[in-house]
């Protein structure tokens, strides 16, 4: 079955279009995945790390509030301690809502437990100050203050761990972006090579009968009338 030049042209252009379309679709999928990874980095890992850093700061503040109350016995320090303790709980709850990794949730649960224990011990100390200040200070140094030290260390460890995780995810996102670019270039190159090949093939198909006609015309012009008949119409039938 003979295929007309018109159909060959249409088929060639369709194949090239399909290749470019496939390249664009695959690139789109890769870009979607890259965007998801970037969103996770910016909106999740970085924000949870910020939570850990804020917790570390608030722990230091509530430690200072406890020391201030033990020295001056002013209600302002007690109120600030309770506010900072509650703010830590709020941050921990926020971090747990954002977390998708079980390790994150476990670390935050540990911080919440330590924070609750500190408030209990700090309350005992503040209540005992007016009764036996020296005993209250001893209790604070033995029970309450070590809890805040451990909280700061754990919050700092969590921040560092999330920093490493952030760096790993950034590397993964960069590699994914590089793969997307490489895939797009490769498929585009294949489509370009195929388009050039189709162009050369179609040009040969079109130019062959024209060259043959030119050769016959040249022979006739030279006085040679014994040339064989040339079926130009059949060979150049584009619209069949």
Average pLDDT over residues 76-94: 97
Cα-to-chain-centroid distance, residue 55: 26
Residue 104 in domain: yes
Structurally, the chain folds into a number of domains equal to 1
Output the CA–CA distances (angstroms, integers) from residue 119 to 59, 115, 147, in the order listed: 11, 6, 10
Residue 229 in domain: no
Q: Is 102 exposed, middle or buried (0-12, 13-18, 19+ CB in 10 A)?
A: exposed
Distance between start and end Cα atoms, the chain: 13
Residue 160 in domain: yes
Which range of residues forms the domain containing residue 114? Answer: 32-186
Residue 102 in domain: yes
Q: Residue 91 — φ and ψ, nearest 5°?
A: -65, -40
Residue 192 in domain: no
Residue 100 in domain: yes
Cα-to-chain-centroid distance, residue 170: 8
pLDDT tens digits for range 218-233: 665 666 555 555 554 5
CATH number at residue 119: 1.20.120.1730
Residue 20 in domain: no
pLDDT tens digits for range 183-231: 777 777 776 777 677 667 766 766 666 666 667 666 656 665 555 555 5
């Amino acid at each position: 079955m003979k295929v007309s030049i018109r159909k060959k042209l249409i088929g060639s252009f369709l194949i090239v279009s399909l290749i470019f379309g496939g390249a664009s679709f695959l690139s789109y999928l890769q870009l979607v995945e890259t965007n998801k990874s970037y969103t996770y980095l910016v909106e999740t890992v970085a924000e949870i790390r910020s939570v850990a850093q804020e917790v570390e700061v608030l722990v230091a503040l509530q430690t200072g509030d406890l020391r201030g109350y033990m020295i001056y016995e002013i209600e302002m320090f007690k109120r600030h301690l309770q506010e900072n303790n509650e703010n830590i709980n709020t941050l921990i709850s926020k971090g747990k809502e954002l977390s998708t990794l079980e390790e994150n949730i476990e670390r935050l649960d540990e911080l919440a437990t330590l924070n609750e224990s500190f408030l209990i011990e700090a309350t005992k100390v503040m209540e005992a100050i007016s009764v036996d200040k020296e005993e209250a200070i001893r209790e604070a140094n033995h029970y309450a203050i070590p809890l805040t030290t451990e909280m700061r260390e754990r919050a700092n460890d969590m921040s560092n761990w999330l920093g490493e995780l952030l760096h790993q995810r950034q590397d993964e996102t960069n590699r994914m972006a590089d793969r997307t670019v490489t895939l797009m270039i490769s498929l585009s190159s294949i489509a370009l090579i195929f388009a050039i090949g189709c162009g050369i093939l179609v040009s040969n198909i079109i130019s062959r009968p024209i060259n043959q006609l030119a050769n016959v015309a040249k022979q006739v012009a030279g006085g040679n009338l014994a040339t064989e008949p040339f079926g130009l119409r059949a060979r150049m039938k584009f619209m069949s």
